[in-house]
Structure 1
Amino acid sequence: MIFEPGQRIVFIGDSITDCGRRDVAAPYGNGYVSLVHAFVTAAHPGLGLDWVNQGIGGDTVRDLAARWERDVVEARPDWLLVKIGINDVWRAFGSHPEDAVPIDEYETTLRRLLGRAVGATGCRLVLADPYLIEPDRDEPQRAQTDRYAEVVAKLANEFDARHVRTQAAFDRVLATTTPGDWADDRVHPNLPGHAVIAQAFLAVIGWHEPTGS
């Protein structure tokens, strides 16, 4: 596995990462972050990892930029796990299109933030795609989300980051199910939906189920 003893693991993102971590489900939330934390801790209890969830519901890359110094640079991560972009796209298809983040701004901002984090802390990166739980790739919001995911793939290559293909993970399960099996609104997953995301993260960080007795 990529994590080493005593390292600090910082997650940052929007509501999918937040998932109640500032309220009833403190400190990790009740979504994929909590699942990743639980499975890694159970498999490697001696690592003594320090886990931090910095997700905030509703965030776009603009919001991350406003809190990056406090919530990332000052947190001094060894590994920074970033999943952002759903709201950047979704707002264009909702009641507040003026709050959507154009793809060029999304790419420029995210590249700047990642560069700042790496330069200031020396952290390694894990970057996760935005997604829409929608099997029709020609549906407008899904098609736009795929373009933003291409930006994440490009940045993962630029920064030698681990790349979590969350959209591909949902596409796999959608081959035999419907979007409503995983989320009521195609965005905010139920617990099985969060497990889909968690499995994608666990595969990328090299987690393996313990064997033997």
Structure 2
Amino acid sequence: MPRLLLICSAFLLLSAALPQKKKVIFFGDSITAAGVRPDGYITQMKAMLPDYDLIGAGIGGNKVYDLYLRMEKDVLEKKPDVVVIYIGVNDVWHKATHGTGTDLPKFEGFYRALIKKIQANGAKVVLCTPAVIGEKKNGDNEQDADLDKFSASIRKISQDTGLPLCDLRKLFQDYDLEHNKENAEKGILTSDRVHLNKTGNELVAKALSGIIGKL
């Protein structure tokens, strides 16, 4: 029995000495909910960031105030080291599809409040601009102008707070400019103008892993 106790004690000491994986929560909408699927960006990132525990916290249809309302349970209680905020598509998109959406001043207010609460909980924060609602080039998509305003707002918040920014809006636009030869509205990086296909997920995974790996 003493020998067994000694072995158990040694195992516990060894376990305690092993470095703990840093916990990263991806906080967003259906794009993030799909990120945990086999080809999703979160799943792809696990091979890129093997020393991190990557957790998806996306819910379809969410806007920025939905994130604020569920932040305590889905993020803060889990005590993450890093939180990636990836929101804004529905805040713009739902204005046309559902007659709802979010006004830009309200979006900015909730976004800044999210950051403050997450930082107060001890986590680092990474910001993302919303990528696309349609993949046509040169501002040909119906909601490009509005999406550009929301993305500009997030860039400004990044500058004001000094937080790292993954500018997916610019990344996707640049990619489509080069690869979308026929000016198609979907099929290059998205399956339906909004949700990511395998290539879109890979683009996001590479961009975010590069940022997270340097934190």
Same fold? TM cut 0.5? yes
Q: Deviations over 1:1-28 (max 9, x none)?
A: xxx953211111011111074xxx4xxx
- Classify the secondary structure of the residue corresponding to 1:11: strand
Normalised to the residue count of structure 2, the TM-score between the two structures is 0.80
List runs of 5+ in structure 2 lacking aligned partners. 1-18, 181-185
Residue pair 1:33, 1:198 contacting (<8 A) in 2 also:
yes
Match of 2:67 among 58, 64, 68: 64
Give 1:140 shift.
Answer: 3.9
**1:210 corresponds to which residue?**
none
Which of 157, 163, 166 is the aligned partner of 1:161? 163
Does residue 107 of structure 2 align to residue 106 of structure 1?
yes
Note closer, same or farther for the CA distance 1:83–1:50 as it changes in structure 2 (3 Å cut). same
Q: Tell me the amino acid that sits aligned with residue 123 of structure 2.
A: C
Equivalent residue number for residue 171 of structure 1: 173
Output the CA distance in 2 between the equivalents of 1:75 and 1:159: 24
Counterpart contact for 1:156–1:162, Cα < 8 Å = yes
Q: Distance in 2 between matches of 1:182 and 1:196?
A: 8
Length, aligned pairs only: 189
| Correspondence list, 1:22-37, <5 A | 25=37, 30-37=39-46
Q: Distance in 1 between matches of 2:137 and 2:53?
A: 37
Q: Deviations over 1:78-114 (max 9, x none)?
A: 11111000000001121x112x011111100111111
Query: Which gives a bigger RCO, structure 1 or 2 (Cα 8 Å, sep 6+)?
Result: 1
**2-side partners of 1:65 and 1:130: how far apart?**
17
Checking the alignment, whether the CA contact within 8 Å between 1:136 and 1:142 is kept in structure 2 is no
CA distance in 2, matches of 1:160, 1:122: 16
Q: 3-state DSSP class of the match of 2:179?
A: coil
Q: Distance in 1 between matches of 2:178 and 2:161?
A: 35
**Given residue 152 of structure 1, which amino acid in structure 2 is its aligned partner?**
I
Matching residue's letter, 2:177: A
Residue in 2 that maps onto 1:44: none
Question: 1: distance between equivalents of 2:143 and 2:83?
Answer: 27
For the structure 1 residues 181 and 40, does the alpha-carbon distance in structure 2 shift closer, same or farther, using more than 3 Å as the test? same
- Percent identity among equivalent residues? 30
Equivalent of residue 196 in structure 1, options 200, 203, 210:
203
For the residues of structure 2 that align with 1:127 and 1:37, how far apart are their CA atoms?
19
**Alignment partner, residue 16 of structure 1:** 31
Task: List per-residue Cα deviations over 1:31-57 (Å, max 9, x = no partner).
Answer: 11111222211xxxxx3x322211111
Counterpart-to-counterpart distance in 2, 1:204 and 1:53 = 17
**One-letter code of the match for 2:70?**
R
Whole-angstrom CA distance in 1 between matches of 2:24 and 2:111: 19
Q: Could you tell me which amino acid in structure 2 is paired with residue 157 of structure 1?
A: Q
Deviation at 1:138, TM superposition (A): 5.7
